[in-house]
C-alpha cells in the first residue's frame, strides 16, 4: 500500500468539476506549484480541463522535506500520487523545462508500472531526451547557479540579490538541476501517446530543432508549436497557451491499452 499523500503532491487552484479532463502540470527547476496559478485560471476559463499542479518536496509548504535528486525516483512518487488521486477522468500532462522531462518520465512509468496511458503529453521549453547534452549546472558554486537563472531570465531572478532569498531558493534549485542533468534516457523506452512540444523562438537553452525531436520518443502523433519569447515565454502568454491546450484537449477521452 502506498504511503504517498496525494494532497501533499497535487495542488488544485480552480476546480472546474468532475466532467472535464485533468491536466497535471510540472514546474521548472527551482519552481513551485504556485507558478502555475495564472495558468490554472486561464485553463479553467476555457472549460477544457482542470489543473492539478505538482508540488515538489523542499519548497513552499514542503520546505522542511528533503529535495529529491533522482528524476526517476521523483517521477515514481508523482505516479503514486496520481494513482492515489485517480477519479476515473482522462489525464494529460504538461511540463515546462525540467518539468517537461519529468512529465515524460511520469507518462512512461504510468504505462510501464500501472498499465495506464495518459491522453496527451505537452512539453515546453526543453529539448527532447533523444537530444542529450552534457551539463554541469548542479556542480557550480552559488554564483554559477545565480548566473544560470539570470541567463534564462527566470521570473523572480532579481530576488536572488538578497542573501536570505538565495539561501532558501538555491538548495532546491541545485537538487532539481542534479535530477535533470543526471537523468539518462534509454532509447528503447518510447511513449505511445500524442506529444505536443512548445518552445520560445529565442530560448537560449532550447533550440527549435531540439524541441522538434520530441517526436522521436513517441509512436503517437507529434506537433511542434513555436511561440515568441525566451525560455519563460509562457509568462506573457498564459491565455494563448491555455487556448492552444484547450483546443487539443477538446473531445479527448480514455485511451485503452
Residue range 134-146: mean pLDDT, rounded: 86
Query: Do 217 and 191 form a contact (C-beta atoms < 8 A)?
Result: yes
- For residues 216 and 128, what is the distance between their CA atoms, to the nearest angstrom? 8
Q: How far is CA 34 from CA 59, 60, 75, 82, 218, in A?
A: 11, 9, 19, 18, 30
Query: Do 220 and 92 form a contact (C-beta atoms < 8 A)?
Result: no
What structural domains does the chain harbor? 6-133+187-249 (3.40.50.1820)
Query: Do 251 and 221 form a contact (C-beta atoms < 8 A)?
Result: no
> What pLDDT does 252 receive?
45
pLDDT digits over 9-52, tens only? 999 999 998 889 999 999 999 999 999 999 999 999 999 999 99
> What pLDDT does 166 receive?
83
Measured from the Cβ of residue 7, the count of other Cβ atoms closer than 10 Å reads 12
| Torsions phi, psi for 227 (to 5 deg) | -115, 155
Statement: residue 230 has pLDDT above 50: yes
pLDDT digits over 61-82, tens only? 999 999 999 999 999 999 999 9
- Of the pLDDT bands very low, low, confident and very high (cuts 50, 70, 90), residue 242 is very high
Q: What is the largest CA-CA distance in the chain?
A: 51
Active-site annotation, residues: 97, 231
Average pLDDT, the chain: 91
Statement: residue 154 has pLDDT above 70: no
- For residues 130 and 147, what is the distance between their CA atoms, to the nearest angstrom? 27
Q: E-assigned strands of 6-106? A: 10-11, 22-26, 50-54, 91-96
> What pLDDT does 255 receive?
38
Percentage above 90 pLDDT, the chain: 76
Residue 250 DSSP symbol: T
> What pLDDT does 82 receive?
96
The region, left, alpha or beta by phi > 0 then psi within -120 to 50, assigned to residue 50 is beta
Query: Do 101 and 95 form a contact (C-beta atoms < 8 A)?
Result: yes
Angle at 128 between CA 174 and CA 228, to 5 degrees: 85
Q: How far is CA 210 from CA 50, 84, 132, 161, 215, in A?
A: 30, 34, 9, 33, 10
Amino acid at each position: 500500500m502506498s504511503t504517498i499523500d496525494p494532497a501533499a503532491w497535487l495542488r488544485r487552484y480552480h476546480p472546474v468539476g468532475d466532467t472535464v479532463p485533468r491536466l497535471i502540470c510540472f514546474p521548472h527547476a527551482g519552481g513551485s506549484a504556485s507558478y502555475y496559478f495564472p495558468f490554472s485560471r486561464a485553463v479553467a476559463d476555457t472549460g477544457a480541463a482542470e489543473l492539478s499542479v505538482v508540488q515538489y518536496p523542499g519548497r513552499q509548504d514542503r520546505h522542511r522535506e528533503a529535495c529529491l535528486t533522482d528524476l526517476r525516483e521523483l517521477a515514481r512518487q508523482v505516479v503514486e500520487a496520481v494513482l492515489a488521486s485517480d477519479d476515473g477522468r482522462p489525464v494529460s500532462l504538461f511540463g515546462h523545462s525540467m518539468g517537461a522531462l519529468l512529465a515524460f518520465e511520469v507518462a512512461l512509468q504510468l504505462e510501464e508500472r500501472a498499465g495506464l496511458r495518459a491522453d496527451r503529453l505537452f512539453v515546453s521549453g526543453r529539448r527532447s531526451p533523444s537530444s542529450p547534452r552534457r551539463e554541469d549546472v548542479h556542480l557550480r558554486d552559488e554564483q554559477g547557479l545565480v548566473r544560470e537563472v539570470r541567463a534564462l531570465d527566470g521570473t523572480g531572478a532579481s530576488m536572488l540579490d538578497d542573501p536570505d532569498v538565495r539561501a532558501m531558493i538555491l538548495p532546491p534549485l541545485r537538487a532539481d538541476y542534479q535530477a535533470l542533468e543526471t537523468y539518462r534516457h534509454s532509447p528503447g523506452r518510447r511513449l505511445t501517446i500524442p506529444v505536443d512540444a512548445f518552445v520560445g523562438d529565442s530560448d537560449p537553452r532550447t533550440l527549435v530543432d531540439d524541441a522538434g525531436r520530441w517526436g522521436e520518443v513517441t509512436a503517437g502523433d507529434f506537433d511542434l508549436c513555436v511561440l515568441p519569447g525566451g525560455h519563460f515565454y509562457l509568462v506573457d502568454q498564459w491565455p494563448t497557451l491555455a487556448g492552444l491546450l484547450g483546443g487539443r484537449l477538446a473531445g479527448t477521452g480514455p485511451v485503452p491499452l
